[in-house]
A and B are shown apart, each in its own frame.
Chain A
Amino acid sequence: MVCFILVPFWILNVGQCLVQKDRFDEELLLKPLPSGHVYAYFQFTTVWDAPSGPQMFQHCHLFPRALGEVAGRHNVQELHVTLTEGLWRYEYWGFPVSDAAPGAELWTWFRNDTKDVDNIWKKLTGALSGLLCASLNFIGTPNSLSPEYSFRPTGVVKNSNLNSSFVRYATLPREIVCTENLTPWKKLLPCDSKKGFASLLNAGHIHNTNYHSLGLHIRPVCKDAKCTEVSIELRQTVSLVYDMMILGFQNQDWSLRKLFGLGLSGPCPLATSSFIYVDVTSNETGTPYQLQPEPTEVITSIRGGYESKFKVYNIQKMSFTHMLNIVATYSTPKVYAVNVPPVLYASRYIVGYGQERGGIVTKIHNNHWKHLDIIYLENIPWFLPIYLHTLRVVAGGKEITPILKKYVPGKERSRPYSLEVLLRIPARSVTEIYIEFDYVFLKWQEYPPDANHGFYIGSAIISAYLPVGKNYMGLPQAGPTIYSSFNASREGFLLQLRTESLIITLPTPDFSMPYNVICLACTVVALAFGPLHNITTKRLCMKDGNSCNGLLIRLKSMLFKGRKPQAQAH
Chain B
Amino acid sequence: MGLLTDPGAGRGKLTMMLEAHHGRLCIVLYLCGVVYFALLAHEHFSAATYFSENALLPGLVESEYDEDHSAKKFLVELKDEGSRYPDSMPYSWLLAKFGQMGLETYTHNFTLEYPLGPGSQYRGKNVYAILRAPRGASTEAVVLSTPYRPPSSAHPTTHPGIALLLSLAKFFRRQKYWAKDLIFLVTEHEQLGTQAWVEAYHQASSGHPGVLKHGDLPARAGAIQAAVNLELRSDRISHIDVKVEGLNGQLPNLDLVNLVHRLCAMESVRHTFKNRDNANYADPWRQWSYSFRTMMSMVFTQATGMTNGNHGLFHRFGIEAVTLEGFERRTAGGPPMFYQMGRVVEGICRSLNNLLERFHQSFFFYLLSATDRYISIGAYMPSLGLMCGALLIRAFSLWLRMSSEESAQASNHESNESKDEDELTKEVDQKEGNINDDKFVDEKIEDTTEISEKEESTISDVKEKLGLHGGPVLVVVGGLVLAAHVLGVMAVNLPVFVTRFAVTTWNIPTVDCVWIGSIVFSVLLVGAATIIARMVAINPDVPILLNIAALLELATLLLAVAMHNFSLALVCGMLCTPIALGIGTFKRWWLRGAVRILWLLVHPLSLLSLAVLLAARTNFPEESLMGLLSRTNLAARQALLLTVVDSLVYGSWAFNVAAGTFLPTWLLLWVAS
Q: Which A residues lie at the B interface, using CB under 8 A?
A: 35-36, 85-87, 89, 92, 102-103, 173, 208-210, 243, 245-248, 334, 336, 347, 349-354, 359, 361, 450-454, 456, 500-505, 508, 510, 512, 531-532, 534-535, 540, 542-543, 545-550, 552-553, 556, 567, 570
Question: Which B residues between 565 and 595 are near A, CB-CB below 8 angstroms?
Answer: none
Question: Which B residues between 315 and 358 are near A, CB-CB below 8 angstroms?
Answer: 316-318, 356-358
The answer to whether B102 and A36 have CB atoms under 8 Å apart is: yes
The answer to whether A352 and B204 have CB atoms under 8 Å apart is: yes
Q: B508 contacts the other chain (Cβ, under 8 Å)?
A: no
The answer to whether B5 and A243 have CB atoms under 8 Å apart is: no
Report the minimum CB–CB distance from B435 to chain A (whole Å).
12
Q: B175 contacts the other chain (Cβ, under 8 Å)?
A: yes
Closest to B2 in A: A531
* B425 in complex: contacting residue of A334, A543, A546, CB < 8 Å: A546
The answer to whether B219 and A347 have CB atoms under 8 Å apart is: yes
Give complex CA distance A512, B53 in Å: 12
Q: B441 contacts the other chain (Cβ, under 8 Å)?
A: yes
Q: Which B residues touch A556, using CB under 8 A? A: 432
Report the minimum CB–CB distance from B392 to chain A (whole Å).
18
Q: Which B residues touch A102, using CB under 8 A? A: 137
Q: Which A residues touch B602, using CB under 8 A? A: none
* B318 in complex: contacting residue of A248, A505, A552, CB < 8 Å: A505
The answer to whether B441 and A350 have CB atoms under 8 Å apart is: no
Give complex CA distance A336, B358 in Å: 34
Q: Which A residues touch B219, using CB under 8 A? A: 347
Of B134, B219, B358, most buried by chain A (CB within 10 Å of CB) is B134
The answer to whether A352 and B139 have CB atoms under 8 Å apart is: no
* A548 in complex: contacting residue of B220, B316, B317, B434, CB < 8 Å: B434
Q: Which B residues touch A553, using CB under 8 A? A: 432, 434, 437
Q: Which A residues touch B241, using CB under 8 A? A: none
Using A35-B102, A347-B219, A550-B437 as known contacts, say yes or no to A86 and B202 having CB atoms under 8 A apart.
no
Report the minimum CB–CB distance from A456 to chain B (whole Å).
7
Report the minimum CB–CB distance from B184 to chain A (whole Å).
16
* B203 in complex: contacting residue of A173, A352, A545, A570, CB < 8 Å: A352
Q: Which A residues touch B5, using CB under 8 A? A: 531, 534-535, 540
Give complex CA distance A350, B139 in Å: 11
Q: B470 contacts the other chain (Cβ, under 8 Å)?
A: no
The answer to whether A505 and B202 have CB atoms under 8 Å apart is: no
The answer to whether A505 and B316 have CB atoms under 8 Å apart is: no
Report the minimum CB–CB distance from B267 to chain A (whole Å).
25
Closest to B427 in A: A570
Using A86-B136, A353-B316 as known contacts, say yes or no to A567 and B431 having CB atoms under 8 A apart.
yes
* B429 in complex: contacting residue of A353, A451, A531, A548, CB < 8 Å: A548
Interface of A is mostly: loop
The answer to whether A500 and B222 have CB atoms under 8 Å apart is: yes
Closest to B98 in A: A336
Q: Which B residues touch A549, using CB under 8 A? A: 8
Query: Could you pull out 25 A-B pairs where Cβ atoms are within 8 angstroms?
Result: A36-B102, A86-B134, A86-B136, A87-B132, A87-B136, A92-B104, A208-B176, A336-B100, A347-B219, A351-B202, A352-B204, A353-B202, A353-B317, A353-B318, A359-B203, A450-B356, A454-B223, A500-B139, A502-B139, A503-B140, A503-B222, A504-B223, A531-B5, A540-B5, A545-B410
The answer to whether A351 and B1 have CB atoms under 8 Å apart is: no
Using A501-B139, A546-B425 as known contacts, say yes or no to A450 and B357 having CB atoms under 8 A apart.
yes
Besides A92-B104, A246-B173, A540-B5, 16 new A-B residue pairs in contact (Cβ under 8 A), listed by A number: A86-B134, A89-B132, A102-B137, A210-B132, A352-B204, A361-B203, A451-B357, A503-B222, A505-B358, A508-B360, A510-B360, A532-B1, A543-B8, A547-B425, A548-B429, A550-B13
Q: Which B residues lie at the A interface, using CB under 8 A?
A: 1-2, 5, 7-8, 13, 99-100, 102, 104, 132, 134-140, 173-176, 202-204, 219-220, 222-223, 316-318, 356-358, 360-361, 407, 410-411, 422, 425, 428-429, 431-432, 434, 437, 441
Q: Which A residues touch B13, using CB under 8 A? A: 550
Q: Which B residues touch A248, using CB under 8 A? A: 174
The answer to whether A545 and B202 have CB atoms under 8 Å apart is: no
Give complex CA distance A102, B222 in Å: 14
Report the minimum CB–CB distance from A84 to chain B (whole Å).
8
Give complex CA distance A504, B136 in Å: 15
Using A245-B174, A336-B102, A548-B429 as known contacts, say yes or no to A453 and B356 having CB atoms under 8 A apart.
yes
Closest to B53 in A: A452
* A512 in complex: contacting residue of B140, B361, B428, CB < 8 Å: B361
Q: Which A residues touch B316, using CB under 8 A? A: 353
Q: Which A residues touch B175, using CB under 8 A? A: 246
Q: Which B residues touch A354, using CB under 8 A? A: 318
Give complex CA distance A210, B358 in Å: 24
Give complex CA distance A81, B318 in Å: 36
Of B13, B360, B431, most buried by chain A (CB within 10 Å of CB) is B360
Q: Which A residues touch B137, using CB under 8 A? A: 85-87, 102-103, 173, 500-501
Closest to B415 in A: A546
The answer to whether B134 and A209 have CB atoms under 8 Å apart is: yes
Q: Which B residues touch A502, using CB under 8 A? A: 139, 222-223
Q: Which A residues touch B434, using CB under 8 A? A: 548, 552-553
Give complex CA distance A353, B202 in Å: 7
Give complex CA distance A148, B578 in Å: 71
The answer to whether B317 and A243 have CB atoms under 8 Å apart is: no
Q: Which B residues touch A85, using CB under 8 A? A: 135, 137
